[in-house]
Amino acid sequence: QQQVKQSPQSLIVQKGGISIINCAYENTAFDYFPWYQQFPGKGPALLIAIRPDVSEKKEGRFTISFNKSAKQFSLHIMDSQPGDSATYFCAASNVGGGADGLTFGKGTHLIIQP
Amino acid sequence: DSGVTQTPKHLITATGQRVTLRCSPRSGDLSVYWYQQSLDQGLQFLIQYYNGEERAKGNILERFSAQQFPDLHSELNLSSLELGDSALYFCASSVDWGELFFGEGSRLTVL
């Protein structure tokens, strides 16, 4: 079964610090790697995404780092704020092979302490 | 607001029963996806429909079925319910692939 392994399961970071969440995948056919953010009582919402032709993508305080050879990618949240407290999911899919739905990691519960 | 509407928001039923969850995708989106979210399994892909046709199937049990209607809304039918089916069920839509827009989910509790 295709898998995306996410760590850590939970993370506590002080306000202003850097939050780092890691994911690893097995299927080398994956070619689309998004991160979703979910607040309690809400559905997941796309935060940032990357394709494997680049090693890094930055949007504001959020950065995806991608290592194709290691089959790993990570989310960095710079200057973490209490409003960033949420559950974060990495995901992957094989868009080039046909839409087969995103395979999600199990999520990271992030708490930013004031 | 993602533009994806799911009903009902909450549902409580008994084991052995059957329920139907409904999803209205964003205007213009042709693809609808169903996901199951539980504490221990995270977000599990169940099934995808594209313009009325089944496109991909994930970890969907035989007791579950779905369909997408000509107006593009979708329904997920869950039958012979078991305690372990208690979960949040999310619908998502997209134009084709790429960014998925999720609804707020239907919380199913099986007693």
pLDDT tens profile A72-95:
999 999 999 999 999 999 999 887
* Model confidence at A97: pLDDT above 70: no
State the nearest Cα–Cα gap between B68 and chain A, in angstroms: 16
Pairing status of strand B31-38 against strand A62-67: unpaired
Omega within 30 of 0 (cis) for the link into A82? no
Weakest mean pLDDT among A1-10, B3-12, B48-57: A1-10
pLDDT at B41: 74
Q: How confident is the model at residue A47 (pLDDT cuts 50, 70, 90)?
A: very high
Chain A residues with CB under 8 Å of B32 CB are none
pLDDT at B97: 67
What totals of helices (H) and strands (E) does chain A contain, helices first? 0, 11
Report residue B34 as tokens: 């169903």
Q: Do B55 and A89 lie within an 8 Å CB cutoff?
A: no
pLDDT at A84: 97
What distance in Å separates the CA atoms of residue A21 and residue A36, rounded to the nearest whole number? 12
- Close Cβ partners of B1 (under 8 Å, ≥ 6 residues apart): none
pLDDT at A52: 87
β-bridge mates for residue A20, sequence order: A76
Which residue from B minimizes the CA distance to A2?
Answer: B58
What distance in Å separates the CA atoms of residue B99 and residue A93, rounded to the nearest whole number? 11
Among candidates A43, A46, A101 on the partner chain, residue whose Cβ is nearest the Cβ of B58: A101
For the residues A54-75, what does the mean pLDDT come to?
Answer: 95
